[in-house]
Amino acid sequence: MPSLVDASKSSLLTLEIVFNLKVRDVMATNLITAARVDTMRHIQNLMKEHRISGVPIAENGRLFGLVSVDNILRALDFGFIGDTAEGRMTRNLIVLEDNMPLSFAMTWFERYRVGRFPVLDKDEKLVGIVTSGDVMSKILFEMNSAVNKLEEGGEQQAAAASQSNTGGRYFREFRIKKFDFETGGTASSEIRRVLKERGYNPKLIRRAAIASYELEINLVAHSDGGRLSCIIDDDRIEITAKDSGPGIPDVEQAMVEGFSTATDWIRSLGFGAGLGLPNVKRASDTFDIRSQMGLGTIVKSIINLTDSE
């Protein structure tokens, strides 16, 4: 019997997992730290004892710097292994916030090619550290869990779907505000909840969740605000995003993976990677986009319910 999650569907599964995870979900919280007055030799011994490659220099939750293996090797080579961390640690650190989307951390690992990022909370206190290995381990764990659930309950879910997904026509419209990242994702979560309650195939729910989430975040990040609507009929799910501006100058270019007009501020929040519209199209059976400069954009995603995976 073939797996319910084949290679062609695995990218959608990965996207759904990444959407649902924050940096705090993957970071290590059992931190080994050192103080500014501790010697590089002491920190070297901490690394050996705990088999780690970086030690944050923090006091009372405040992060001052970080000592990495490279710092230790340099201290050994140049003879200042007895110096305190105060004068030898790396001070100009790139940090993550614990409530940032995991996708942001993945982007920064690719961009900066570092082994780890300290993680701060909203009060700027050190609460964790995350490595690229932590990210991959968490994603693989979540993927394995999702695949096992699908394969163990696939037949039962399909039978339940045939009996329970006849709840009648559903329509819901959500107002989406510009730059409202705090509640971004609320509409797509509600759409997903309704589909689950109606017992639809998990693969189909995943596709609808991805399409609605990407369209919702596009409204938040790139438009002057707008509306996201969802219609569930007997034969399809129709998700439409409509905004009142500013419009897309080049729709064809906007559909190229990696192309983005997001500002540095939006990117710093973990959005604007240039994958939104391509992801929507990939998740859809029918995809349509129309845009006029100064007037706005309408994007429609249709997912067929009949014979759909």
More confidently predicted of 159 and 261: 261
Q: Residue 7 has what pLDDT?
A: 41
pLDDT digits (tens, 9 = 90+) for 239-283: 999 998 899 999 998 898 766 665 655 555 555 555 789 989 999
Question: What DSSP letter does each residue of 97-157 carry, written as one string?
Answer: ETTSBHHHHHHHHHHH--SEEEEE-TTS-EEEEEEHHHHHHHHHHHHHHHHHHHHHHHHHH
Domain of residue 218 covers 169-304
Q: Are residues 185 and 300 in the same domain?
A: yes
More confidently predicted of 70 and 254: 70
Q: Is the pTM of this model over 0.75?
A: no
Q: Residue 236 has what pLDDT?
A: 94
Average pLDDT on 40-64 reads: 95
Q: Residue 50 has what pLDDT?
A: 92
Sign of CA dihedral 196, 202, 206, 208: negative
Q: Please check whether residue 187 lies inside any domain of the structure.
A: yes
- What tokens does 126 get? 């050190």
Q: Are residues 42 and 129 in the same domain?
A: yes
Element at 219 (helix H, strand E): helix 202-222
Q: Residue 36 has what pLDDT?
A: 97
Domain at 235, CATH number:
3.30.565.10
Cα 59 to Cα 129: distance, rounded to the nearest angstrom:
15
By percentage, how much of the chain surpasses pLDDT 70? Answer: 81
Q: Residue 45 has what pLDDT?
A: 96
Q: Residue 155 has what pLDDT?
A: 45
Q: Are residues 94 and 179 in the same domain?
A: no
More confidently predicted of 43 and 257: 43
Q: Residue 276 has what pLDDT?
A: 82
Classify residue 118 as exposed, middle or buried by CB count within 10 Å of its CB (0-12, 13-18, 19+): buried
Which of helix, strand or coil describes residue 252? Answer: helix
At residue 158 the predicted structure's pLDDT band, cuts being 50, 70 and 90, is very low
Q: Residue 254 has what pLDDT?
A: 84
* For residue 235, pLDDT beyond 80: yes
Domain at 123, CATH number:
3.10.580.10
At residue 57 the predicted structure's pLDDT band, cuts being 50, 70 and 90, is very high
Which of helix, strand or coil describes residue 51? Answer: coil
Cα 95 to Cα 124: distance, rounded to the nearest angstrom:
10
Calculate the average pLDDT of the chain.
83
Q: Please check whether residue 278 lies inside any domain of the structure.
A: yes
Q: Please check whether residue 142 lies inside any domain of the structure.
A: no
Q: Residue 14 has what pLDDT?
A: 65
Domain count, the chain: 2
**Which of 135, 152, 182 is the last residue before a domain boundary?**
135
Residue 180 φ/ψ, nearest 5 degrees:
-90, 70
Cα 128 to Cα 163: distance, rounded to the nearest angstrom:
46
Q: Are residues 121 and 191 in the same domain?
A: no
Q: Are residues 116 and 196 in the same domain?
A: no
Q: Are residues 173 and 125 in the same domain?
A: no
Q: Are residues 98 and 175 in the same domain?
A: no
pLDDT digits (tens, 9 = 90+) for 84-143: 999 999 999 989 999 888 877 887 787 787 888 999 998 999 999 998 888 888 877 877
**Which of 135, 154, 181 is the last residue before a domain boundary?**
135
Q: Please check whether residue 152 lies inside any domain of the structure.
A: no
Q: Are residues 35 and 108 in the same domain?
A: yes
* For residue 308, pLDDT beyond 80: no
Q: What is the CA radius of gyration of the chain?
A: 23
Average pLDDT on 235-242 reads: 96
